[in-house]
Amino acid sequence: MRAYTAGLVACSLLLLCGAASAADYGDNLGEPNTLFGGGTTRYDAASGLLTINATPLSTRLTPGARRVAIEPPSSLAIEAQLDAGSGTVLRGTFTMTGDVDDYASQIEYSGVLLTGDIIEFSYFDLSSTDVFVFRFKVTGGSLAPRYAGNEIGVAVTVDHSTFSGDFDKSFKGGASGHVGISVPVEFVCADPSSITANFDGTPIPAGRTIWFNSVLKVSGPQSAPVTIQFQDVTINSADGLISVVVPDAEVTFSPTETTASTTFTGTWVTTVPFGLPGNTFFTGAAFPVTTSLPGGIKNVTWSGRIISDTPGVAVQWQWAAAVYSTLGDLDSLGVKPVDDNKASVYKNSDHAGTPESVRQFLVSGARGGGGSNFTGSYSGTVKTGACQ
């Protein structure tokens, strides 16, 4: 499952990891909760226009009430202008029309029932049946007073979908789902993840320190802050020679930041602008070598939980290890936050994760040969992420 959020990404629908249809989301929308179906979803890559047209079928006006029919002529229309490269939502509208019978078969609401301007667009690429989730600001309609300042949530099941997760290709499919009040719920999704790699053949004498460091890349979000956490992180070797508890980390990607930074206050806190090329520092730990270690230690494994506060974030990460004759406290290392040579105070070509304050003490060992490889060589890459 691939899941991403385009546009403003503060999640206000209860998006459940592994959910398979819009019904899973729509059931969490508040009343009035409207069911729609029989529709079409179309996206034109040349123009970046996403259109959804469907027929409202019934609505439940209050919690616990039975559903009442929405009489024809009725329609539901969503138009969203997307960036064809990233899928970022630029603008869009929602319109729903029809006649709502009350329980005495009298028309209670008629004509334009609800209109809105887009706030958020999320998509869940589930192969032949996908899920699109929207939030809209209420702008009008006879049902608008029932929203009482809340936002419109729309969850769409796109059946028979030709969507492949890319917005540089046109696609189409069906459309059914729910409209209702978007209920603010904090989104958290956690994925356990681990990577195993080996040390090189250089022995490591006692008195030196191994600098374990990791980096990440993210894809999916574009317009609002997204925070990735790395928790319960440990490093262990199969032979028991290496055992490290790694500090937690919190990395925030922000559209308003212009400078990348990393600080340590018991937790690694990194803030970076969106759109930088290369890697971002994730977390790191020092392992003082109290007893000399042989070269060639095998099956050294990093393990932890990668947590996203936003649905649909894909994370790629790697780890590395280098040896220093002197390292010092973590809060004094001056860790470079990003690979980019202009975005932080460290305007050089060093890798993200380089301990800039002590790089003159680099020696060979672990996964580094010394020289200018201040982080050591990277492990293989593992891709993980929220609700994938």
> CA nearest 386: which of 267, 275, 305, 329?
305
> CA nearest 13: which of 125, 171, 163, 121?
121
Rounded CA-CA distance 340/176 in Å is: 44
Rounded CA-CA distance 85/9 in Å is: 18
Per mean pLDDT, which range of 5-9, 220-224, 354-358 is the poorest? 5-9
Does the pLDDT value for residue 129 go beyond 90? no
Rounded CA-CA distance 144/347 in Å is: 52
Does the pLDDT value for residue 305 go beyond 80? yes
Element housing 70 (H / E) = strand 68-82
Decide: 251 and 225 in contact? Cβ < 8 Å.
Answer: no
- Domain spans of the chain? 2-181, 189-385
Taking only the tens place, the pLDDT of each residue in 179-204 is: 999 866 455 566 788 999 999 999 99
Taking only the tens place, the pLDDT of each residue in 59-83 is: 999 888 888 889 889 999 999 999 8
Q: Report if pTM > 0.75.
A: no
pLDDT band, very low/low/confident/very high, at 124 (cuts 50, 70, 90): confident
Per mean pLDDT, which range of 162-171, 188-197, 372-381 is the poorest? 188-197
Helix segments in the chain, DSSP class H: 22-26
- pLDDT computed for residue 245 by the predictor: 93
pLDDT band, very low/low/confident/very high, at 26 (cuts 50, 70, 90): low
Alpha carbon 343 to chain centroid distance?
22
- pLDDT computed for residue 122 by the predictor: 80
Instruction: Tell me what the pLDDT averaged over the chain comes to.
Output: 88
Alpha carbon 376 to chain centroid distance?
28
Query: Tokens standing for 107?
Result: 């028309």
Taking only the tens place, the pLDDT of each residue in 79-121 is: 999 987 777 789 999 999 999 976 555 668 999 999 999 998 8
Taking only the tens place, the pLDDT of each residue in 238-269 is: 999 999 999 999 999 998 899 999 999 999 99
